Structure 1
Amino acid sequence: MLGALGLEPEEEFVYRALLGRPSATAMLLADLLDRPEAVVDKALARLVETGLALRSGGEAYLAAPPAMALGALITERRDGLRIAEQALVSLAEEHRTAVAGRSISELIEVVSGVDAIRHRFQQVQQAARTEIRNFVTAPYLAVPPGSNAQEDAAAARGVRFRVVLERSVLAQPGIIDEVVDSLERGVELRVADRLPMKLILADGDLALVPVTAPQAAQPGSEPGAVLLHRSGLLAALEALFETVWQRAYPLELSSFGADGLPYVELDTDGPTELDRRILSLLLSGLTDQAVATQLDLSLRTLQRRLRHLMDLAGVETRMQLGWHAARHEWA
């Protein structure tokens, strides 16, 4: 919850424990939280550094009042963003001056038709030297899941992939297997509630963006896209991607497990691989029915597994289950 302010999960965990006590030592907190004392010591040092905790004589610590301490951190972040915005204006002007001699036709190319868009999509990936950034939304048009041949080639060259999926994409049939495959190949994936557009960026040099949505196109008309070369508009798309990336929910391979379906339900004292996948999809924002469909389960089986997990965690609500799952790395 406090990650946006620069806190690691362990630091937030220790801070929350410290809030409920007049003062506490690292040893006491380590026993209370069932954490190694060295981990708690490191978290406390970071909390003191950020102003969220104070030393209280000897080895004891006090939690700083949240309204004061967190308010200061929020203000600091806002000031940092303002400075970054000012720098962006200056950098954009420098870049505009550098490309002022280029004509519009050199900076923007209109692409029409599914085949042409697919061809340019592959070319953008071929041109990447260090990184590809991608917004993925449904419905698919030119490059459906499993048909991106250039992704493997780019990854083999050492190109980093960062991809943000719109949450509705996770409800598409068969997409979870595709997600697991991408994660296994080192693709960094995150999920956002909504994305403003489809987008692919190759380094800071090329971007491909649709200009007509499939549902908005006239019957019989062809879809269109624009290929952007290095320009102020491309820099704005880079900034948009980074903003969305920072706010999106990360997906990790451990959340989904390495094995495919079917699952075997075991009577264990902890979550099974099936349970971990259920929790991960629910934390990504999917409905019970969408999760059940993705995992080829009945809705009744899914809800029975959730009740079992709540009993294991000793909680009464799903919100409490999500907090417990995050703290104990269940998902």
Structure 2
Amino acid sequence: MLGAIGLDARQESAYRALVALGAAEVTDLAHRLALPETDTERALRRLEQQGLAARSSARRGRWVAAPPGAALGALLTQQRQELEQAEAAAATLAREYRAEAAEPAVHDLVEVVTGAVAVANRFAQLRLGAAEELCVLVADARTDAGPAGPGVVRRVVIEREALAAPGGTAGLTAELARGERVRVVDRVPSGLVVADRALAMVPLTARDTDPAALVVHGCGLLESLLGLFEAVWREALPLRPAAGGYEEGACGPDATDLEILSLLLAGMTDARVAKRLELGLRTVQRRVKGLMELAGVTTRLQLGWHAYAKGWVARDPWE
């Protein structure tokens, strides 16, 4: 738990034991930790550097714990200050990058990343660096889509075969509980992650070979990858928790949804629709939001076009 302030597991154990005892000889502490005395003394010296322990002035070889409230509080304050400085530096670099990359060279629009570690690190950068939206296509049960940062809208489409594989549902409970939007489809054409509609990553190699991936910056290829994701998203079915597992959402709206949709397309407001159908206003708005998610659209105008295209509602015969 104290790894964030630079302590490893052995150093943290030594500090916890020293706090419990108040003060201790190296020999006694080593016995308590089941460690060699040399390793225990090395851990104590590291704690001394961090201001968490001090050598006793009364007895040679005896160490005293620094009060946790003051000592850890000082370290945490220092960490916060360093983090704020790093955030400021990152923001400055981002502004400089955007200014310099206004007209990037063609060969800078695409990166090739090779090797399992490099690919995993780049994927983590995209996932954790997203500020607004993260779109993911998961074709392999072994792929860990992972959570995004706070406030980031996350849409994930999972291939049905990957979902059925051992371990394929790992993490889904937490994802659905966080309100993340997860859908399932028969086949995902390719693994894909798109961060903030500005950066995408797509695998280049088969699943059983040494990993390699393509990282695509803002360009026509990125727009094509976004179009691919949206097409797969529209065809996929929502996934929701169910007793003993998961179940896929219905492929279309129910009767009440159709009534609401028809009245909205006739020009009624949400309030008038609610009154006409004897529903609560929030119920109508919630159902409309659900229809937009089901259709994979972001505006009501798009929802209307989708409703006609899918046959959810019919045009008047004289049109």
Question: Under TM normalisation by the shorter chain, which class is it?
Answer: 0.3 to 0.5
Higher relative contact order (CA 8 A, sep 6+): 1
TM-score by length of 2: 0.43
Q: Name the TM-score, length of structure 1 as normaliser.
A: 0.42
Q: Answer with 1 or 2: which has the greater Rg.
A: 2
